[in-house]
Amino acid sequence: MKKKFCIYSILCLVLTAMPLIPAMMISPKTSAQEKSDTEISETSENSTEQDNNSNIENLENQVYHVLDITSNKILEVSVRDYVIGAVGAEMPVSFETEALKAQAVAAHTYAERQVILAENRSDLNGADFSNDPNQYQAFYTTQQLQELYGDNFNTYYEKLCQAVDSVLPEILFYDNQPIIAAFHAMSSGKTESAQNVWGNDIAYLQSVDSSSDTSAPKYQQEISYTPDQVQELLTSAHTGLILGTDTEHWFGEPICSDAGTVLQIPVGTSIFTGQELRTIFSLRSACFEITYQDKNFIFTTKGYGHAVGMSQYGANAMALQGSNYREILAYYYPDTILKTA
């Protein structure tokens, strides 16, 4: 007897809502704008380059206080080094340069917002954020990047630095505040809205098509659990849950959003959210299909991550098709403004 049904959901995170006043969306350049950009005077070019270099120097002197969860010490890291380390930790350096630039802007924006939020946090011992990837974005020191890149360090690090330096002063804003620059590895083919994942409707975190994600590496993965394992995990997470004797019907039909997120799903005598199920079964994503076959539950996952905001593989696909970082950011974070901090 085989029962097959689709379940889509997203990892539950804590999200602070932002004001939802629409802001200007960044549009791709027109041919006329491109021509205008190429015809600026040498003086203007030099001035722009000098301004950018000046901004980078300023950000090299400014520091973030990062709580190292391994040593429990607070590291003082320049803004530039932090963004380099965050991009290196969060995105493959083999990705297109324009995708790396988009990630750099997202990483910098994320950090700036966390600095603001940290003022009301008591668990960071005075730090702005930590390097715990389960709570914040990941961050690697230069030494860790050397270990990661090995013999290719010089080449990869130079590529990373060039991408970061070209956009370092830029941050995404909405309603005059740094945005919640959420990102994930790959969606199920369509990103999800913050409303369906975290319960807050945010104008610039809406569902958009990201069908190129379906061709990303490891887009689909399988993991198998025995009924005993499923029962143990579910009852440990939900005291008092009764699953019954009809094993193949432990999971009911889910209620899903248009993008596939499980809003509710009956499990035994209780109702779980999709976010809970992803956490309970340690899945790559909460977009998955459950098949009961040969007396085992097989979870087939699609995508990787919570699916809100920018898809990293989607960004790389856009870059391969000729989009620049501004167009990538405008697509995944509509109605935001990209400007110098």
| Residue that has been written with the tokens 């025995």 in this structure | 226
DSSP-assigned letters across all residues of 254-313: PEE-TT--EEEEEETTEEE-HHHHHHHTT-SBEEEEEEEETTEEEEEEESBB--BSEEHH
DSSP-assigned letters across all residues of 95-148: S-HHHHHHHHHHHHHHHHHHHHHGGG-SSSTT-SEES-TTTS-----HHHHHHH
Q: How far is CA 249 from CA 7, 200, 236, 245, 264, in A?
A: 14, 32, 19, 9, 16
Q: Give the pLDDT of the chain (341 residues) as one tens digit per residue.
A: 444 434 333 333 333 333 222 222 222 232 222 222 222 233 333 444 555 555 666 666 799 999 999 999 999 999 999 999 999 999 999 999 999 999 999 999 999 999 998 877 777 888 999 999 988 999 999 999 999 999 999 999 999 999 999 999 999 999 999 999 999 999 999 999 999 999 999 999 999 999 999 999 999 999 999 999 999 999 999 999 999 999 999 999 988 888 888 888 999 999 999 889 999 999 999 899 888 999 999 999 999 999 999 999 999 999 999 999 999 999 999 999 999 97
pLDDT of residue 56: 62
State how far the Cα of 326 lies from the Cα of 171, in Å rounded to an integer.
11
Domain ranges of the chain: 1-15+185-305, 58-184+306-340
State how far the Cα of 107 lies from the Cα of 248, in Å rounded to an integer.
43
Q: How far is CA 71 from CA 68, 75, 148, 156, in A?
A: 6, 10, 20, 27
Quickly count: other Cβ atoms within 10 Å of residue 184's Cβ: 24
